[in-house]
């Protein structure tokens, strides 16, 4: 179903993000019998590349990579996770890692995609690797961009401080104390006004920041956490991907997914193609721009 939600974006953002977009019905929430609509891009034709964003970005983050890969003969599938971007933002959705993985699985099945490569960033790594671990035969190549998909208690104090219930929700949803600072802290090269507007536009008020808070809330640091078992399953499933072609493209000045995570990925996938950009930050596709998208394109085209 083609939708017009993107047409609501500010004109300067539409210049950066000129895509039509599509909608897919995910299962209804407990308090509603209406399906939850997930927005996604389906651009180009050819071998499929699925791109999964994290928090607090959306499909906008991949806009330049989509343009690069569609021009090179790829079909790019880029969902906005429920609660993010141009997807619905219900207040009672089960915003958990398990549901995130299932949402992407349903979308892949809906589009009848049997084989695909993955590009993942931030919390999209756990979601994407969870999908790949469930369907290892479907995965062709994997590109890791400043992300994690394994248990770790290494969390920046500035994020740990806002995981606290009530206080954290008030800061993130009421004061925009996560998405707002991320637009500055996640890059070494300041975003242009249009790009910064694009990053933040879906998260303009309390209601629209429901998933931003729930992503932080869903970080499992201990065994009793509701998503701990799912993350353990994702981590265990990485062993099914060791024979895959993997590329690690990393910003060395990431305050969140720092060099500890980089080194851990290099241990998990010792034969991976590594592209370390020491001067770039968490939003590696913004700091690296054309050079990084060219590296990813070359990797996906390599045999």
Cα–Cα distance measured from residue 275 to residue 172, given in angstroms and rounded to the nearest whole number: 33
pLDDT digits 0-9 by tens, 264-280: 999 999 999 999 999 99
Q: Name every residue whose Cβ is closer than 8 Å to that of residue 131 and which is 6 or more positions away in sequence.
A: 101, 104, 105, 108, 118
Query: Taking the complete model, does pTM exceed 0.85, yes or no?
Result: yes
Q: Report pLDDT digits (tens) over 253-264.
A: 999 999 999 999
Number of residues assigned to the chain: 303
The answer to which of 54-58, 211-215, 221-225 has the lowest mean pLDDT is: 221-225
- pLDDT surpassing 70 at residue 193: yes
Distance CA 146, CA 119 (A): 11
101 in helix, strand or coil? Answer: helix
Cα angle vertex 170, ends 168, 171, to 5°? Answer: 65
* Alpha-carbon span 248 to 263, nearest angstrom: 10
Domains and CATH numbers, the chain: 5-301 (3.40.50.1820)
Query: What is the band of 2 on the pLDDT scale with cuts at 50, 70, 90?
Result: low
Strand, coil or helix: 34: coil
CA distances (Å), 1 to each of 25, 113, 279, in order? 9, 17, 41
């Amino acid at each position: 179903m083609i939708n017009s939600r993107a047409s609501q974006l500010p004109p300067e953002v539409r210049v950066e993000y000129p895509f039509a977009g599509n909608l897919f019905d995910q299962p209804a929430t407990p308090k509603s019998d209406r399906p939850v609509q997930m927005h996604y891009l389906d651009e180009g034709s050819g071998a499929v590349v699925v791109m999964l964003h994290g928090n607090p970005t959306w499909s906008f983050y991949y806009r330049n990579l989509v343009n690069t890969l569609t021009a090179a003969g790829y079909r790019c599938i880029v969902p906005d996770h429920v609660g993010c971007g141009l997807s619905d933002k219900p207040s009672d959705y089960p915003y958990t890692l398990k549901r995130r993985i299932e949402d992407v699985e349903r979308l892949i099945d809906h589009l009848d995609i049997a084989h695909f490569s993955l590009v993942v960033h931030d919390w999209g790594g756990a979601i994407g690797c969870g999908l790949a671990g469930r369907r290892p035969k479907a995965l062709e190549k994997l590109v890791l961009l400043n992300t994690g998909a394994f248990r770790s208690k290494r969390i920046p104090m500035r994020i740990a401080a806002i995981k606290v219930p009530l206080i954290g929700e008030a800061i993130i949803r009421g004061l925009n104390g996560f998405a707002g600072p991320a637009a500055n802290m996640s890059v070494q090269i300041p975003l242009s006004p249009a790009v910064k507007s694009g990053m933040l536009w879906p998260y303009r008020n309390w209601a629209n920041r429901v998933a931003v808070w729930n992503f932080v809330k869903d970080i499992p640091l201990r065994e009793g956490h509701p998503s701990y078992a799912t993350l353990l399953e994702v981590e265990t499933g990485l062993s099914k991907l060791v024979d895959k072609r993997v590329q690690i493209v990393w910003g060395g000045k990431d305050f969140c997914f720092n060099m500890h995570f980089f080194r851990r990925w290099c241990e998990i996938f010792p034969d991976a193609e590594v592209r370390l950009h020491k001067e770039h930050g968490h939003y590696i596709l913004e700091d690296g721009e054309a050079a990084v998208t060219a590296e990813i394109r070359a990797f996906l085209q390599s045999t």
